[in-house]
Amino acid sequence: MMRQYELVERVKRYNPHADEALLNRAYVYAMKAHGTQTRASGDPYMSHPLEVAAILTDLKLDEATIVAAVLHDTIEDTDATKEEIATLFGPQISELVDGLTKIKKLDLVSKKAAQAENLRKLLLAIADDVRVLLVKLADRLHNMRTLHYVPPEKRTRIAEETLDIYAPLAGRMGMQDMREELEDLAFRHFMPEAHATITARLDELGRKAGPVIEEIERELESKLAAFGLKADVSGRLKRPYSVWKKMERKSVSFEQLSDIIGFRIIVATVADCYAVLGIVHTTWPTVPGRFKDYISTPKQNDYRSLHTTVVGPGRQRVELQIRTEDMDNIAEFGIAAHALYKDGRANDRSALSRESRAYNWLRRTIETLAEGDSPEEFLEHTKLELFHDQVFCFTPKGRLIALPRGATPIDFAYAVHTDVGNTAVGCKVNGRMVPLLSELQNGDEVEIVRSPGQSPPAAWESIAITGKARAAIRRATRTAVRNQYAGLGRRIIERAFERAGKLFSEDKLKAAVPRLARTSLDDVLASVGRGEIFSGDVVKAVYPDFKEGQAAGSAPDPKAGGWFGMKKGGGLVFRVPDGKQEAQLPSIPIRGLNGDLPVHFAPDGGAVPGDRIVGILTPGKGITIYPIQSPALMAFDDQPERWLDVRWDIEEDHRQRFPAQINVTAINEPGTLAQIAAVIGENDGNIDSITVIGRSPDFRDLKIDLEVWDLKHLNAIISQLRTKTIVSQVERVNG
């Protein structure tokens, strides 16, 4: 365990003016508070906060952050209080410790809604001071280093949480080394077999490739020195988790990966970076499509570097990263590399935002908390933002838009502004019209074509990549559906007032909104359209003295007439595949109700030509024909011997009608049934029976048995019914 003087020495090594007394006071206070507590390993508990502090001294953070690391478990695990810490160490440190205490209570691997809400709390806790996140990441890193002492079931949960949340957050803060170590430690415990296999292969490759790496390092250094450039060249194998992710993403084997070895070239200036690039590209052939300039266009986590791949010495594919020493520090330490905690500006958010694009991303993510419609949507948005690499595109005016890799013009439109996305109807990429589902590439100039009356189709949600676009599409879809229900509700209410002999007035209805337990007129209209409020209740809310009678929406007697019927029948022909097509199945002609083997249709829903169908054989009763999508077929999953592969064999000269069934939800008012019957009749459908299966003062749910020619005919009838204002919903029944 680190001694008191060792902690002070570590801090003073990079900050000679550190408050030694403050560090000593924190060490003694934490030591007394934790007392005889021990960790799962059996070590004194105090060893953990000291190791966390040691990790942060490697990042050269300010003394307040180091003290907060030493004290970070005292409020949670001892009798210490926030007030006591504020008195002894000041309000800044007490706020840091309190933020860490709140984060410790979160369980980020849980049911989706709970996980989402806890992620909200995590980001809110770090919103005001990013040092809370830095301490938490160091805390998680030490816990992962000692995870083998934890019970296996808990070990897996913590490893999954690290891969899902903390490693990506470290990456987004630009702390690449910490991210890689967190990923590999979590990978070892979450997928031990995959980790062991890839690690063994990398060790074997390292033994074989060691001399090759040294040779390439020497040749690169000598080649650059010949042009007067002093460079530090180092090569290394990629990390196991990085290799596994690439194998999984590209669906390739270990042997098929060609860039497991990477080289880093550190030079003095930005100009030297581009000079090195020119020398490398004129000396060795480049691999097309593998050059990326993150110096002129940095990543959102502040990462800056030139990436290229060449066929280098020994015909080896060599992946190169070219950067300055400052860029290398930021690539390793990320947001902690900024001199924000060393000159008294730790709480200067404007200074931080100027220096750190990573912190800007964090602030924007926090702002989405106010936009999210649900914790699940926020979780989706944040995880998408955490995990995706980026492409950089431009608006016609030159504005840079950073998007996840694989993003479409739909994502681009919503990144510009929600209104641009909602009204998008097309796009031009580099001056050419392209589909909205096209994948954008680095450097594309994207122009969105808009139409003021447009609203986004719900199908866009499955096309969009970014959480922001998906959430906006969902909101717009819900708004459109709500408007449809509100329009339907308005018609229902107007007719209810008319039947009651009362004057409909929006002003009077607005005054009655509280009596209907709603917050706005639109809420009332939409609730009536959805069937959540009866129109008679709305009339009563506006006219409390109104006595509801038959005219106000009471249910008619279903036996009062208006029913249609006919006897089913007709010749049906089905065949199984003959012997030439499948030798195992004999040719059995199956004829209709009057044939050798009786054929029946599924009792609920029937089947029509155009459906893919299945026959179920019942000994002594014949064959029952089901559409392939019928949920009733699940009952026969364990009886494969009863299944027959039947097909339609309809002769065009002998057209016949076939049974189908639909459910219709329609407004309850005089003439509704007649309008529905008229639509079916006008479209050449034949009604066999109509049954009321549900009723309310405003709606009727009808089950209608039809006879139609084929699936196209049935779909045409359903489409026509959906156009009627009296009809709320029409669905085919697949029994």
**Same domain membership, residue 243 and residue 184:** no
Instruction: State residue 677's pLDDT score.
Output: 92
Of 408, 435, 467, which residue is a domain's last?
467
At 549 the pLDDT is 53
pLDDT tens string 210-237 = 888 888 888 888 889 998 898 999 888 8
- pTM of the predicted model as reported, rounded to 2 decimal places: 0.53
Question: Which of 367, 306, 364, 350 is closest to 331 using CA atoms?
Answer: 306
Q: Where among 492, 522, 552 does a domain terminate?
A: 552
Environment class of residue 580 by beta-carbon count within 10 Å: exposed (0-12), middle (13-18) or buried (19+)? exposed
- Here the CATH number for the domain that contains residue 294 is 3.30.460.10
Residue 181: inside a domain, yes or no? yes
Lowest mean pLDDT among 102-116, 344-358, 548-562: 548-562
- Please state the domain count of the chain: 6
User: In the numeric block, which tokens belong to residue 465?
Assistant: 């990549």
- Mean pLDDT for 725-731 is 89
Is position 563 within any domain? no
Rounded distance between C-alpha atoms, residue 238 and residue 254, angstroms: 12
> Residue 144's pLDDT band (boundaries 50, 70, 90)?
very high
How would residue 338 be classed by pLDDT, with cut points 50, 70 and 90? low
- Separation CA 606–CA 615 (nearest Å): 12
State mean pLDDT over 407-415: 91
Per the rule left: phi > 0, alpha: psi between -120 and 50, beta: everything else, 599 is beta
pLDDT of residue 261: 81
Q: What is the DSSP secondary structure assignment for residue 373, as one 8-state letter?
A: S
**pLDDT of the residue at 575:** 39
Active site residues: 76-77
CA atoms 574, 577, 580, 584: torsion sign: negative
274 with 398, same domain? no
What's the CA gap between 643 and 631, in Å, rounded?
15
Q: Mark out the alpha helices in 615-710 (DSSP H runs).
A: 672-682
Which of 190, 223, 248 terminates a domain? The answer is: 190
Whole-angstrom Cα distance, residue 341 to residue 326? 17
Which band of pLDDT confidence, cut at 50, 70 and 90, is reported for residue 522? confident
Predicted confidence band at 379 (pLDDT cuts at 50, 70, 90)? Answer: low
CA angle 564, 568, 570 (to 5 degrees): 140
Per-residue pLDDT band for 663 (boundaries 50, 70, 90) equals very high
CATH number at residue 438: 3.10.20.30
Q: Verify that 399 and 386 share a domain, yes or no.
A: yes
Q: Is the pLDDT of residue 422 over 70?
A: yes
Whether residue 512 is found in the same domain as residue 622: no
Instruction: Tell me the pLDDT band of 527, cut-offs 50, 70 and 90.
Output: confident
Q: Name the residue range of residue 490's domain.
A: 476-552
Given strand 643-644, what is the order of strands in its sheet?
A: 599-601, 622-627, 613-618, 643-644
Residues 596 and 589 sit within 8 Å (Cβ to Cβ) = yes
pLDDT digits (tens, 9 = 90+) for 251-310: 777 777 767 788 899 999 999 999 999 998 988 888 887 888 889 888 777 788 999 988
**Residue 349 included in any domain:** no
Are 82 and 107 found together in one domain?
yes
State the average pLDDT over residues 671-680. 91
Residue range 190-208, pLDDT digits in tens: 888 988 999 998 888 888 8
Residue with tokens 């999953």: 637
Please, which pLDDT band fits residue 576 given cuts at 50, 70 and 90? very low
